[in-house]
Amino acid sequence: MSRPQRAAARGGADEVLRGLSPALLTDLYVSMRRIRRAEEMIVQLYPEQEIRCPTHLSIGQEAVAAGVCRALRPTDTAVSTHRCHAHYLAKGGDLRAMFAELYGKATGCCGGKGGSMHLTAPEVGMLGASAIVAGSIPLALGCALAASLTGSDEVSVAFFGDAAAEQGVTHESLGVAALRKLPVLFVCENNLYATNSPLKVRQVTPDIAPRAAADLMPGVIVDGTDAVAVYRAARTAVARAREGGGPTLIEAKTYRWREHVGPNFDIDLGYRTQAELDRWMAKDPVTRLARRLLRAGVLPAARRQALEAAVEAEVADAVAFARSSPFPEPESLYADVD
Amino acid sequence: MSRPQRAAARGGADEVLRGLSPALLTDLYVSMRRIRRAEEMIVQLYPEQEIRCPTHLSIGQEAVAAGVCRALRPTDTAVSTHRCHAHYLAKGGDLRAMFAELYGKATGCCGGKGGSMHLTAPEVGMLGASAIVAGSIPLALGCALAASLTGSDEVSVAFFGDAAAEQGVTHESLGVAALRKLPVLFVCENNLYATNSPLKVRQVTPDIAPRAAADLMPGVIVDGTDAVAVYRAARTAVARAREGGGPTLIEAKTYRWREHVGPNFDIDLGYRTQAELDRWMAKDPVTRLARRLLRAGVLPAARRQALEAAVEAEVADAVAFARSSPFPEPESLYADVD
Amino acid sequence: MRQIKYREAIDEATRQAMAKDERIIVLGVGVDDAKGIFGTTRGAFEQFGSARVFDTPLSEAALTGMCVGAGLRGLHPLLVHARNDFLLLTMDQIVNNAAKWRYMCGGKLRVPLTIRAIVGRGWGQAAQHSQSLQALFAHVPGLAVIMPATPADAKGLLMTALSMDSPVICLEHRWLYEKSGPVPEDPYYIPLGQAGVVREGSDVTIVAVSHMVLEAVQAAEALAADGIQAEILDVRSLRPLDSDSIARSVAKTGRLVIADTGWKSFGVSAEIAARIGEALFGRLKAPIRRVALPDVPTPASSALEQVYYPGPREIAAAARRCLEVALPEESAERPAPARPRDFHGPF
Amino acid sequence: MRQIKYREAIDEATRQAMAKDERIIVLGVGVDDAKGIFGTTRGAFEQFGSARVFDTPLSEAALTGMCVGAGLRGLHPLLVHARNDFLLLTMDQIVNNAAKWRYMCGGKLRVPLTIRAIVGRGWGQAAQHSQSLQALFAHVPGLAVIMPATPADAKGLLMTALSMDSPVICLEHRWLYEKSGPVPEDPYYIPLGQAGVVREGSDVTIVAVSHMVLEAVQAAEALAADGIQAEILDVRSLRPLDSDSIARSVAKTGRLVIADTGWKSFGVSAEIAARIGEALFGRLKAPIRRVALPDVPTPASSALEQVYYPGPREIAAAARRCLEVALPEESAERPAPARPRDFHGPF
Ligand SMILES: Cc1ncc(C[n+]2csc(CCOP(=O)(O)OP(=O)(O)O)c2C)c(N)n1
Ligand SMILES: Cc1ncc(C[n+]2csc(CCOP(=O)(O)OP(=O)(O)O)c2C)c(N)n1
Ligand SMILES: [Mg+2]
Ligand SMILES: [Mg+2]
């Protein structure tokens, strides 16, 4: 019967970071930075037309994936959507295998069969993604069910966008998860748009958590540009789920900087303003955490630059790997299905 | 942002009836009595095996159909479920055509093609029923949409059971109706069971209105054995809808006396107790209103008996009509579809 | 051999499979009910309890997706629906997820999942509770579709489905539930994609699906009385489809009648006809005839139901047409709708 | 005559139909978007405004049901989906309600409803955004299914659909959108259930669906170079299906190749083959050949997409097989995946 509550960020920077280890905070930063740079690399490469699949970038939204996944163990599971790069990477998916997949190569994480919208890395609990809005949400219930039936304390996460709240299966899933007290996190990345449709032409209220969570489970609204806030909310929800307390819905308010699909900016389409984009870019989750960690003395500039250099090398290596990998053999078309 | 509220019945009988005309109150009684007696006639006839279709009886639930439909005009529309006899009759559907339909006759309200689960009477706004749980709910949105686009002030009603709250399409429909402020009444007859499954094994909270209505629309809980209370709740919702105020969800707490489908009692199945049934039968909506109207001097015994006799005659006539009607011609199998 | 009913065979298969493999769970609307999906799931509930056999909300789409997820994580869910009509609510989860997840992830994960659903017929259940939707599923790569017609096949095919690690849709005709037949007590497995020979014959092959197998047997008896020997094949599994066995039989008889419980146009009978027409080009003695539902929704009235459903008469007539034998004098009038004998409401 | 693009023809049909009939409304995810479903709905939005053309939540099932209800009450909704894959979410509403409501109520009510949905292909859209699901709808009594292949047919068929009072599913292949062709400016109506003759020929009939019509034309050109004259029929409407015209053509040529954009097994090609096999028994000179998608989900990799989709080469090969002409020496190697010329991301 608990009502949704705002997990409001408090006071100054130190307060916010309190109790979190430097290693954890650094992880959060590196995770976001890896996502950012990998996707910026896609932006750079896409015009070459060697990445031949629709790519939905998470630039601007990295804090959600990074924050939630840092609260998980590798044995915990996650499913995602068309916009799945960030979740795959934050969950620990291999960067080489991701780029190879985008390039349609045999060495891709799906052997070239899934492409950008179905990134999968079961070895780290990333179980894949559906490109049908809300389509993967109930799968998280099944993972949780398997965990609880086999007596494991694994938790599973469904990542989805704001439009998923409009899909019936989402509400069915919330109901079933609450009824069976399944260890699930419903993580809604509310980036205010579905393709070019603003939330207000699709939903009657601006917040998703109160409606979706309703009387079923805690519904938490969190600043989705603040990886630490997201992490804290996820940690609470994960602990609750692990202890048999059932599911939580986390709504992270966030923003996609670039067009719905593809590498470009899209202010010219007219569905949103440059001013709105600027406001959100000013809250850049990556640089913001970097500044905060610098100020708090957790991540000095030199160390940060070293880590960033490592990310650069990693991304460059992944691209080289992808480029030099072979395409799948024609016969593989017929494999992986009976 | 209005929260669900209990439309609690107040004080003594006079208070409850205040402001309602004798004609209206008598209508409510006759409407319920007609439903009751028609369905008791089905109970009686069913063993003959001439009514060859699954029949889901509303005995015990009559107050909901009667109360809601009395708040409607014939030009207002309704859609229903597998359990649609009461809605068809309360909306003004022809009794002869109903029995003929149950008998599979050409004179049936669907020409014998629909049977018990798809009763239709467009001439009085009864647009039919889906036997798929929640399947007809979005149709009510469409009726409402047509009304608002054509500038009419018609209202439309979706009747459904408690299990419909578990179907995704219900939540989608609530969201769309709220978003577009459609003149719709969502009327949930919460009879505590779906087939033989009690509510608590299907839903996490005992009330449906708060969860389903959520932040979307007023969610009203009403005593579904009290036709007057139902009528008042419906009248308020209808007025709101007609004035452009948008949809309302009414949850009527009610109880089905007999088995899910078919004419018998089913205490032997063990999913509910005789004591529970007895409690609800003590609240019989039909006799209760009769007593109340007698006490209030609205409907004296002699007048009531005359009305009841008319209902008996009507039912007997309908059965005779149905029996003596011809079966559809074989060629009609191919009609009504391109 | 011991004779048991079709529904008992399903119950037995479920329990034997569950006893062998603890990954199997059973769920669906009403599975733990006293009636337990017409007696097919209650036994498992009593034997294995509510952790492994449980009732569900009427959230068929989410439950299907939940089963896909559970399959990805090592369970093998058996999801049961009282009517296959309800599967339409779950098409996205079945077609976009269950059937494709393994392929989309390049084979890294598999979806062990068995979905049982019943084909209704008769007693005025009408358009939304009497469909036979196998064609919709048989078209989808990544799914297997089985339709056992006998108790023995019900057990053997269901046990195979429950031992597989990919999605199988098992469609069971309601009119088969009370039929009895010999069923071995021990567990056994009938491979998917093998048609069964129900009756040998040399004049015409009747390939039948589900309940039409029983109608074909009656048709064959009527034909035999006229000296026509029909061979009956029970397809049993639509996907994979054993076109080889069908082709072998038709190569022998030269004539083919296909009898399906679904609609004719774009139905499974079309695929069988297309494959055999291609495989046996020039070797057919007569056009392939299809006996299936007329292309209209199911009517409620018993008078119309009787016209709607083809049966032994139509199958035999089709066979006779193949043999260019004059049809026996047919009374112009249909008999008045009779009360069904072994199946009626309420149910 | 004026040449316009396929997508412009759809836009024009929509606007002309709406101008004539104020019962028509247009709705769907993104219809009022600047891109307006690839340019097919934005014009109607600009001309008729947001009361009659409006964006919707991603609640496809409820919207479909809403359209059914609106149809019952005198509107004619045109519901648009950017991919036909999303129709799987709405199967219950389409199959159980839209297709059956009229029948279930004995004809008292009708459901004027047109559903447009796009068949995707290429650029790694993969398994859930590139299906071609016509077979699922063509099987269902109460639905009509059209797949226009040319701008002229797109306009004429869509206008007919919008003038009808029963449900029509219009599936449009994305690769047709930028193709141009002659389209009359005034409103006109092409009846459903009439195949179009795209090319006359005497040696083999190629019956093609949607984009395969274009591939068939290329195949026919290659065949003509070898002196083989192919007749090409564009089915245009799958349900109702103009089997008469197909039979007439095949009666002339004696040979039939069917080319479909969907999966082969249990696909629409099977129904066409079954009907023609029966109608023209003994008059075919060669087995009917089907060219369709292999029975696997769509892969993402461009290398695999290239193997996945049959094209002019496969159609011509099938035709040659019908004529028992040796195939031209085929290079063992597939060409390396080429960048698509006129279609690529982002989109
Ligand atoms: C059921 C369904 N309808 C429509 C689409 C087309 N589509 C793909 S992504 C998208 C927008 C989704 O918005 P949201 O859920 O908010 O996620 P975001 O893209 O903003 O991350 C749409 C409409 C789809 N994939 N699935
Ligand atoms: C989608 C779907 N699932 C299952 C069924 C089978 N079924 C028919 S009625 C019913 C119970 C419905 O319960 P409720 O909505 O509470 O209505 P009630 O019968 O109590 O009036 C069920 C499970 C169905 N018709 N549709
Ligand atoms: Mg969004
Ligand atoms: Mg109920």
ipTM: 0.96
Contact residues, chain B, for A164 at CB < 8 Å: none
Kindly report, residue by residue over D289-332, the tens digit of the pLDDT.
Answer: 999 999 999 999 999 999 999 999 999 999 999 998 765 555 55
Please give, rounded to a whole number of angstroms, the shortest distance from the CA of B140 to a CA of chain D.
6
Phi then psi for residue B186, to 5 deg, are -95, 115
Mean pLDDT confidence for C326-347: 53
State the residue range of the domain holding D243: 196-322
Within-domain flag for C335 = no
- Which residues have any ligand 1 atom within 6 Å of their CB? A 56, 82-83, 131-133, 161-164, 191, 193-195, 260; D 29, 58, 60, 82, 86, 89
**C-alpha C80 – ligand 2 centre gap (Å):** 15
* DSSP assignment of D70-102: HHHTT-EEEEEES-GGGGGGGHIIIIIIITTHH
A121: helix, strand or coil = strand
pLDDT surpasses 80 at C336? no
> pLDDT tier at A305 (50, 70, 90 boundaries)?
very high
Report the CATH number of the B22-320 domain.
Answer: 3.40.50.970
Contact residues, chain A, for C108 at CB < 8 Å: 109-110, 120, 122
Residues D149 and D242 in one domain: no
Question: Domain ends where: D152, D182, D212?
Answer: D182
Nearest partner of D199 among D181, D224, D174, D177, judged by Cα: D224
Residues D44 and D160 in one domain: yes
- Which residues have any ligand 2 atom within 6 Å of their CB? B 56, 82-83, 131-133, 161-164, 191, 193-195, 260; C 29, 58, 60, 82, 86, 89
Mean pLDDT confidence for C294-301: 98
pLDDT surpasses 90 at D123? yes
User: Structurally, how many domains does chain C consist of?
Assistant: 2
Q: How many CB atoms lie within 10 A of CB A270?
A: 10
D232: helix, strand or coil = strand
pLDDT surpasses 90 at C347? no
Judge residue B281's burial from the number of C-beta atoms within 10 Å of its C-beta, 0-12 exposed, 13-18 middle, 19 or more buried. Answer: middle
Task: State the pLDDT at residue C126.
Answer: 97
Phi then psi for residue A304, to 5 deg, are -60, -45
How many angstroms separate the CA atoms of C320 and C327, rounded? 7
Residues C124 and C258 in one domain: no
Task: State the pLDDT at residue D108.
Answer: 98
pLDDT surpasses 60 at D189? yes
Task: Give Cβ neighbours of residue B240 (< 8 Å, ≥ 6 apart).
Answer: B218, B246, B248
Within-domain flag for C331 = no
Within 13 Å and on the Cβ side, how many CA atoms surround B19? 7
- Residue A149 corresponds to which amino acid? L
> pLDDT tier at C346 (50, 70, 90 boundaries)?
very low
Task: State the pLDDT at residue B11.
Answer: 34
Residues C156 and C234 in one domain: no
Judge residue B3's burial from the number of C-beta atoms within 10 Å of its C-beta, 0-12 exposed, 13-18 middle, 19 or more buried. Answer: exposed
Task: State the pLDDT at residue B5.
Answer: 39
For residue A27, how far is the Cα from the chain centroid? 15
Task: State the pLDDT at residue D329.
Answer: 58
Which residues of C are designated catalytic? 129
> pLDDT tier at C36 (50, 70, 90 boundaries)?
confident
Q: How many CB atoms lie within 10 A of CB B316?
A: 12
For residue D332, how far is the Cα from the chain centroid? 32
Task: State the pLDDT at residue D36.
Answer: 80
Task: State the pLDDT at residue D324.
Answer: 87
How many angstroms separate the CA atoms of D246 and B301, rounded? 74
Rounded to the nearest integer, the mean pLDDT of chain D is: 94
Task: Give Cβ neighbours of residue B165 (< 8 Å, ≥ 6 apart).
Answer: A175, B188, B203, B208, B211, B212
Residues D315 and D278 in one domain: yes
**C-alpha C167 – ligand 1 centre gap (Å):** 26
Within-domain flag for C329 = no
Which strand (E) or helix (H) includes residue C172? strand C167-173
Please give, rounded to a whole number of angstroms, the shortest distance from the CA of C115 to a CA of chain B.
19
Q: Which residues pair with C25 in a beta bridge?
A: C77
Cβ pair D244, D277 in contact under 8 A: no
Task: State the pLDDT at residue B15.
Answer: 82
How many angstroms separate the CA atoms of C138 and D260, rounded? 17
Record: contact D300-A132, CB cut-off 8 A:
no
Q: Is the dihedral of CA A83, A85, A91, A94 positive or negative?
A: positive
Any idea what DSSP says for residue B134?
A: T
Kindly report, residue by residue over D57-107, the tens digit of the pLDDT.
Answer: 999 999 999 999 999 999 999 999 999 999 999 999 999 999 999 999 999
Residues C170 and C210 in one domain: no
Rounded to the nearest 10°, the torsion over CA A29, A35, A38, A39 is -130
**C-alpha D135 – ligand 2 centre gap (Å):** 29
Q: Is the dihedral of CA D123, D124, D129, D132 positive or negative?
A: positive
Active site residue D129: yes
Task: Give Cβ neighbours of residue B23 (< 8 Å, ≥ 6 apart).
Answer: none
Task: State the pLDDT at residue B16.
Answer: 84
How many angstroms separate the CA atoms of A213 and A175, rounded? 9
Residues C23 and C142 in one domain: yes
Task: State the pLDDT at residue D150.
Answer: 98
Within-domain flag for D341 = no
For residue D20, how far is the Cα from the chain centroid? 25
Kindly report, residue by residue over C210-267, the tens digit of the pLDDT.
Answer: 999 999 999 999 999 999 999 999 999 999 999 999 999 999 999 999 999 999 999 9
- Give the C window 120-159 contacts with D, CB below 8 Å: 126-128, 131, 135-136, 138-142
Within 13 Å and on the Cβ side, how many CA atoms surround A103? 25
Q: Which residues pair with A197 in a beta bridge?
A: A194
Record: contact B168-C62, CB cut-off 8 A:
yes
Task: State the pLDDT at residue C330.
Answer: 54
> pLDDT tier at C50 (50, 70, 90 boundaries)?
very high
Kindly report, residue by residue over D212-240, the tens digit of the pLDDT.
Answer: 999 999 999 999 999 999 999 999 999 99
Question: Domain ends where: D182, D205, D229?
Answer: D182
- Residue C246 corresponds to which amino acid? I
Residue among D76, D81, D129, D173 flagged as catalytic? D129
Residues C113 and C153 in one domain: yes
Q: Extract the residue ranges of chain B whose pLDDT is less than 50.
A: 1-13
- Residue D124 corresponds to which amino acid? G
Kindly report, residue by residue over D134-146, the tens digit of the pLDDT.
Answer: 999 999 999 999 9
Nearest partner of B210 among B180, B170, B250, judged by Cα: B250
Residues C131 and C201 in one domain: no
Nearest partner of A161 among A192, A129, A202, judged by Cα: A192
Residues C178 and C298 in one domain: no
> pLDDT tier at D42 (50, 70, 90 boundaries)?
very high
Nearest partner of B291 among B225, B236, B235, B234, judged by Cα: B225
Mean pLDDT confidence for A48-77: 98
Write the CATH number for C272. 3.40.50.920
Which of A8-22, A86-100, B52-66, C21-35 is predicted least confidently? A8-22
Cβ pair D80, D54 in contact under 8 A: no
Which position has the token pair 């039912």? B315
**C-alpha B171 – ligand 3 centre gap (Å):** 19
Task: Give Cβ neighbours of residue B336 (< 8 Å, ≥ 6 apart).
Answer: B111, B113, D102, D103, D106, D107
Q: Which residues pair with B5 in a beta bridge?
A: B220
Q: Which residues pair with C233 in a beta bridge?
A: C197, C207
Question: What is the best residue among A57, A195, A261, A272 to mutate for testing ligand 1's pocket, by most ligand atoms within 8 Å of CB?
Answer: A195
Dig out the tokens for C312 from the structure. Answer: 């032994």
Which of B126-135, C31-40, D251-260 is predicted least confidently? C31-40
Q: Is A115 left (phi over 0), alpha (psi -120 to 50) or beta?
A: left
Task: State the pLDDT at residue D326.
Answer: 61
Atom of ligand 2 nearest to the CA of B82: 9
| Predicted TM-score (pTM) of this structure | 0.96
Within 13 Å and on the Cβ side, how many CA atoms surround A187? 36
Task: State the pLDDT at residue C272.
Answer: 98
Task: Give Cβ neighbours of residue D51 (< 8 Å, ≥ 6 apart).
Answer: B149
Task: State the pLDDT at residue D35.
Answer: 81
* DSSP assignment of A205-257: SS-SHHHHHTTTS-EEEEETT-HHHHHHHHHHHHHHHHTT---EEEEEE----
> pLDDT tier at D49 (50, 70, 90 boundaries)?
very high
Question: Domain ends where: D131, D149, D182?
Answer: D182
Which position has the token pair 């996205």? C92
Please give, rounded to a whole number of angstroms, the shortest distance from the CA of A189 to a CA of chain D.
16
DSSP alpha helix (H) spans, chain D: 6-20, 36-39, 42-48, 60-72, 91, 101-104, 134-138, 151-163, 211-225, 243-253, 268-279, 302-308, 312-322
Task: Give Cβ neighbours of residue B68 (< 8 Å, ≥ 6 apart).
Answer: B90, B157, B159, B185, B187, B230, B231, B234, B250
Number of H helices, E strands in chain D: 13, 14
Which position has the token pair 């849709």? C169
* DSSP assignment of A299-333: S-HHHHHHHHHHHHHHHHHHHHHHHHSPPPPGGGG
Task: State the pLDDT at residue C344.
Answer: 52
Task: State the pLDDT at residue B319.
Answer: 98
Within-domain flag for C332 = no
Within 13 Å and on the Cβ side, how many CA atoms surround D195? 25
Residues D213 and D139 in one domain: no
Nearest partner of D130 among D345, D256, D305, judged by Cα: D305
Within-domain flag for D285 = yes
Bridge-based pairing of strands D76-81 and D24-28 is parallel
> How far apart, in Å, do the first and last CA atoms of chain B sit?
46
D243: helix, strand or coil = helix
Within-domain flag for C258 = yes
- Residue A327 corresponds to which amino acid? F
Residues D27 and D144 in one domain: yes
Q: Is the dihedral of CA B91, B97, B101, B107 positive or negative?
A: negative
